[in-house]
Structure 1
């Protein structure tokens, strides 16, 4: 009888241990599920490389400033937005890129064309073509619009991987006041480093001539700077915004009320 009782107690102890293990495993599963459905699933899709929150404008070491019709207002971007005129779009059927002059001129007269100036400004580990101190042949870009690292290699096809985006698209500018600018002022607008960012080719093509109401960078960290830069360009060249565009800009700036305008310096 005593042997049977001892066996019974051992069996009960083993059963309690088994149930304890099962309980611990169940708790771990529940905790893992809670983590996944709260923070875990979002952490899993977080990009390995995040894009920058801003893009430089000017490097006084080798770039020279250009002069827009008006100075960029200093201070809060939201306040500058309120100073822009609000109107509808003008007709765009007569838009022609040539109205902004020949593409990629040496507008600042530093000896290098604007495309190479912007590549040199925005790329890292820049390599130049043999015998040239201007022609960028290679480099890496911490791409601001989609948050990827892009390798630039000059070539008939590979150069398209990195394109120079007009922050305020020229087609958009044409419909919002640029028709009233002089040919020289439009040429400066098209080559102003304030209005130019090296970007992923596909993102640039996707944006096309969109304004902030219809396109914003996928990299949300850049959006405040991007919108402030558009406002700064429009203020400097006397361009207006549409009401939907202004509303979209205001929504972005509401998340960063301390955002300042972007100036060449």
Structure 2
């Protein structure tokens, strides 16, 4: 369905919509590249016990492209979705860049968050340096440095260039490299280069939540793949050190996507965490 949220039409899906169960709002990663398909595939598995809300953020997927594409705006959109769905409190979830927004939401709206689930994300922009080193040292593929710089600095020229640069770095993401899967992902990705460019040329430079995370009051599960190249385990360890009620789980046979590469174990881990949180409320 399409819902008008803060002056922008968002593509939203509600899974497991039944009264009396906790609500999860899951934010996808990769602004300008990501879509609700990723959280639908992972958090949608929990729709037997939770009301799961997934959506294309403004400037991504099938949603409209009205700016601004700031963290503040994306956080405001999440809270407007919460109000639209009628939930007093939510489980806020996010993977990769979506984890940035999930943490920003938990900082801005602590009373609205019953729990937080993070996946392969970072508390600041220090992961950029780590990711660059990992990409250039990869034995899997030889990265075209010009394309790498354009996508990582938010200076891609248009949607076609974003697709070209995205295809260049996609082989780095999974624990087990499958060229056919990479080609399929590149084909299925919705491209919004202006959103991507703003996120990586403007937002990333100012992104640093380390001083705010000790004030997060929600119990937090942090999941990460052992072989994640772009937000390595050290990034999740930093988050775990800063958020008081946090649990870190490392998935040993995953890259950036344990929710897909070790889907059953990841689902069981999230279920156990959420069941424990809501059993004490």
Structure 2 length as normaliser, TM-score?
A: 0.22
Highest relative contact order (Cα 8 Å, sep 6+), 1 or 2?
1
